[in-house]
Structure 1
Amino acid sequence: MNNLNLLVVKHNQMESERILLRPISLNDAEDMYEYTSDEETTRFIYEQHKDLDQTKNLIANYFVKEPIGKYAIVLKESNKMIGAIEFRVHEWNKSGELGFTLNRHFWGKGYMTEAGKLILGLAFNVLGLERVFSEHEVKNSGSGKVLIRLGMKCEGILRKNQMIKGVLVDSAYYSILKEEYLNFDKKEQ
């Protein structure tokens, strides 16, 4: 089997028509703070950041410390970072886990779907994975809509599965298999 981490590192930059996925750096701190400090953007995932130093610490200790599969979502036209998308590979069962956050000022414009398609292309066409999955807090219907647009199917609800802001919440669990992706991708063209 190929070294999957090496392949992900070789694809640490990907682009589509409107966006670029690239590693996150401290230069992204102000753009990231714009959405990590926004209660509406973060309400289903984590406590909002109180100051720019908190965001810089997150970048240094999470995104830069272990950067594989963690991408800034950047608008090509303005070079503005508008969110982050993360992809964790699980070699033992040839699967990958997708997670994302998007600045609410850019919701409803298709950017997250565009970023997700780049990740699914990496997962199935480059890494040769068999399955990609994701989950979101059940009250966060916007994330569910993104996953459906990516061709994923809801497999069910995991009760009290995630700790968000100190409260156990239910998660909607989605996945897409390689053969479903290949058929879905053909329909999209």
Structure 2
Amino acid sequence: MEIVINRNLIFAENQSLKTERLTLRPVTLSDVHDMYEYASDEETCRYVFPRHQTIKETKESIANYFMCAPFGKYGIELNTTGKLIGTIDLRIESQHHIAEIGYALNKDFWGNGYVPEAANELLRLGFEELKLMRIFATYDIDNPKSGRVMEKIGMKIEGNIPNARMWKGKVVTDVMRGITLEEWQQLHN
């Protein structure tokens, strides 16, 4: 008999998560200026989403993506200042008990270990609370810094996907990395 897990309830009970330096919490319209700061920067969003041209576009993104279906989507807020410096999400494929993790971070905060810190908290939530068996992520082969984040949280290379997609007029090879429940438990025991 299969155990039924109400993942929506688990997300509802974990809308805000704290780490040593960060609060992962729902994104709201009050975050529009902090988000626009990085979403309008070409270097920050080069590999993750089209650059926002206006504040209105950022408001629409917040409303249509983050607020419309908020479970599993978190703003990354600095505990010291309350500034939103990025976002991270866990997109679950319930029938397979797996999830994909994705993130974006304001370039002014790169190199401080914030994304691995946030991602480790989502791995904990995914494996301990949501009872997932594998969490994976993909990155453009030309963006090795994103791959380094995945490596820091214990994700292993599972393969390259040549001609995976078109992105901004370029054919992209994606690299897939993942970590299983067992691998995660070995790292945290």
How many Å separate the matches in 1 of 2:146 and 2:14?
A: 25
Match of 1:179 among 160, 179, 182: 182
Report deviation, 1:166: 3.8
Does the residue aligned with 2:188 lie in a helix, a strand or coil? helix
How many Å separate the matches in 2 of 1:121 and 1:169?
A: 30
Report deviation, 1:125: 0.7
| Matching residue of 1:123 | 126
Report deviation, 1:67: 0.8
Calculate percent identity across the aligned residue pairs.
40
| Matching residue of 1:45 | 48
Alignment of 1:24-173 (within 5 A): 24-173=27-176
1:51-99 CA distance string (max 9 Å, x none): 1111011001111111111100000000000000010111111111100
**What is the one-letter code of the residue matched to 2:116?**
T
Match of 1:16 among 14, 19, 24: 19
Does the residue aligned with 2:47 lie in a helix, a strand or coil? coil
Report deviation, 1:145: 0.3
**What is the one-letter code of the residue matched to 1:175?**
G
How many Å separate the matches in 2 of 1:88 and 1:8?
A: 11
**What is the one-letter code of the residue matched to 1:152?**
M
How many Å separate the matches in 2 of 1:123 and 1:47?
A: 28
- Any gaps of 5 or more consecutive residues in structure 1? none
Report deviation, 1:160: 1.6
Report deviation, 1:176: 0.1
TM-score for the superposition, normalised by structure 2: 0.95
Does the residue aligned with 1:87 lie in a helix, a strand or coil? strand
Are the equivalent residues in 2 in contact too, given 1:82–1:102 (CA < 8 A)? yes
More divergent stretch after superposition (165-174 vs 94-103):
165-174
**Corresponding residue pairs, total:** 186
**What is the one-letter code of the residue matched to 1:32?**
M
- Any gaps of 5 or more consecutive residues in structure 2? none
